[in-house]
Amino acid sequence: MAPISYSNALREAKRLLARSTTPRVAVRRSLVNSEHAGLGVFAVERIEAGAALCLYPGLHTPPVPFVDGSGELVVFGPADDEDTSYVMNLLTTGGFLDGRRLDEVIQTGGTANPLAVGHRVNHPARGSLPNVRVVPFLWADVADACDGDGGDSWSAASALAGDGAHYPVPNARRHDGTPWYFCPLAREVARHPTARQEGVGLLAGALVVASAPVATGGELFLDYALRGPPHPAWANGWYSPVEVSRPGAAGF
């Protein structure tokens, strides 16, 4: 399967925001036999390899900016006891998405996007293989590539709030005021903003794309590619590394 091009990924991201897009996936109880699996994402029709299926919602922690100075740059990651089960590392844009606390992220206007469900995709059970991968992108690139496409007026200005034809972007810059990194040049700790940011700026998102055909009713599986062992507590007892390496592993 040829990888989806970045330009096509940008247009697919906008398509998955459109209220007129017919969902090809739906959220149901996962078939993975684990109390941690919970809900899963399933194909409602036969899906071909290369199809963009849904968006990964969540708060975006951007990569640390380059600091030209002596000393070691210290990045503050999740605490040891923090739930990272919905954290998606973005291997090309940098940073990561956290699919928890979505009420802080998605300004639904009363209706949630049924295609912003990528955080519900599970890791395959032992003996199974992944059938989707993630494709990170920047929302500003989507706006630049698609502004005025088809004669509509969708742009970065309307992306966060949505409009009559589109759902809002399901991502937002992390804004809890927590420590982000220690800058050795300034000798101070940089913190995340304390208020929701306006505009898309360097805000990243991610597509979930089929890496293999999926039959009608089949569950979507993504290789979590967890580091370790040891693995996070939420993965103990059920997580098994994928035996065959597949492109697009999440790298949690």
| pLDDT tens track for 2-50 | 578 999 999 999 999 999 999 999 999 998 877 767 899 999 999 999 9
pLDDT at 247: 46
Phi, psi of 126 (to 5 degrees): -55, 130
Residues 6+ apart with CB under 8 A from 43: 24, 25, 53, 214, 215, 216, 217, 218, 219, 220
| pTM confidence score | 0.86
* Contact predicate 121/41, CB 8 Å: yes
More confident residue, 30 or 185: 30
**Banded model confidence at residue 124, pLDDT cuts 50, 70, 90:** very high
Q: By CB neighbour count within 10 A (0-12 exposed, 13-18 middle, 19+ buried), where does 224 fall? A: buried
Residue 142 dihedral angles phi and psi, to the nearest 5°: -60, -45
What would the mean pLDDT of 159-184 be, rounded to a whole number? 82
Average pLDDT (227-239) is 79
Q: Which whole number is the average pLDDT over 224-233?
A: 80
Q: Which of 39-48, 93-102, 109-118, 224-233 has the highest mean pLDDT?
A: 39-48
- Could you tell me whether strands 188-191 and 204-210 are parallel, antiparallel, or unpaired per DSSP bridges? unpaired
The band of 240, judged by pLDDT with boundaries at 50, 70 and 90, is: confident
More confident position, 116 or 238? 116
Q: Is pLDDT of 165 > 60?
A: yes
224 has a pLDDT exceeding 80? yes
Q: Which CATH architecture has domain 6-235?
A: Beta Complex (2.170)
Count of Cβ atoms closer than 10 Å to residue 26 Cβ: 13
Q: What percent of the chain has pLDDT over 90?
A: 38
pLDDT band at 147 (very low <50, low <70, confident <90, very high): low
Whole-number Cα distances in Å, 114 to 4, 54, 238: 22, 8, 28
CA distance 89 to 97: 7
Provide the pLDDT for residue 128: 87
Please write the tens of the pLDDT for every residue from 198-213: 777 789 999 999 999 9
Domain residues of the chain, as ranges?
6-235
The residue type found at 166 is H
Question: Rounded CA gap, 144 and 36, in Å?
Answer: 39
Cα–Cα distance between 156 and 252 in angstroms, integer? 29
Q: Which of 83, 110, 78 is nearest to 178 (CA)?
A: 78
